[in-house]
Amino acid sequence: MKKIIKDSAILFVITLIAGLLLGAVYKITKEPIAEQKDKQKLEAYNKVFDKMNSYELVENLDNAQKSVENMGSVTVNEVVKAYDSSKNELGYIITVTDNGGYGGDIRMTVGIDTDGRITGLEILEINETAGLGMKAKEEDFRKQFVGIKAESITYSKTGKSADNEIDAISAATITTKAVTRGVNGALEVYRVMGGAGNE
C-alpha cells in the first residue's frame, strides 16, 4: 500500500513539474508566435495592396460569416479596409479559411479594390501535397486571380476560356477548388460589406 502511495506521489510530482514547464514554455513562446503571425499578416496585406499605408479592422463579422454559410467550408477570419497615404480608401482585404483542401485548411488573404477587382491573393497557411497542391502558393497560380472583376470565379482543367475563369493546378483539383471557393467567399464578403464607402 505504501509503495502505491509513494509511486502515486512521484507520478503526481512529475506530472506537476511537466505541466509547469509546458506552461512556462507556452508563456515564453506565445508573444513571439503572435508577433510572427502579425508580421506575416502585414506582409500579405502589403502584397495584395501595394499602395496600402494604413488599415482599419472591421470589428463585426456576423454578416460576413452569414454571407458564406452556403459555401459550407469557408470561414471568415478577418476583414479590414485598406487606405493609401492620403487616407483614400483602396478597398478591402479579406482573410478566409477553406477547410476543403486535400490536406485540410487553406487560409488566404484576398485584396479587392473599390471597383470590385481582385488586387492580389496570398496563401497564408497550406498543407497540400508537395509538387501538386502546394503549387497554389506559387505566383503563376495566384496571379491568375489578379484583375478579375466578377461575381464568382470558376476553374478549368482544359484551359481558361472566360474572364472569370482560372486554370486549375494539374492533378490538384481539390486544392484548386478550395482556393477558388475561398476567393469566391471573399468576393461575397466584399459585396456584403458594400464595397467602397460602406461604414
- Distance in angstroms (rounded) separating the CA atoms of residues 179 and 101: 8
Checking if the pLDDT of 118 tops 70, the result is yes
Q: What is the pLDDT of residue 46?
A: 87
DSSP 8-state class, residue 169:
P
CA atoms within 13 A on the CB side of 77: 19
Q: Which long-range contacts (CB under 8 A, 24 or more apart) does 3-8 make?
A: none
Checking if the pLDDT of 198 tops 50, the result is no
Q: What is the pLDDT of residue 197?
A: 42
CA dihedral 58, 100, 70, 76 (to 10 degrees): -10
Q: Quick one: which of 183, 195, 189 has its CA closest to 148?
A: 183
Mean pLDDT value across residues 38-60: 85
Q: What is the pLDDT of residue 30?
A: 63
Does the pTM surpass 0.85? The reply is no
Mean pLDDT value across residues 68-90: 91
Q: What is the pLDDT of residue 199?
A: 40
CA dihedral 33, 35, 38, 39 (to 10 degrees): -110
Q: What is the pLDDT of residue 10?
A: 82
Mean pLDDT value across residues 127-147: 93
Mean pLDDT value across residues 133-150: 94
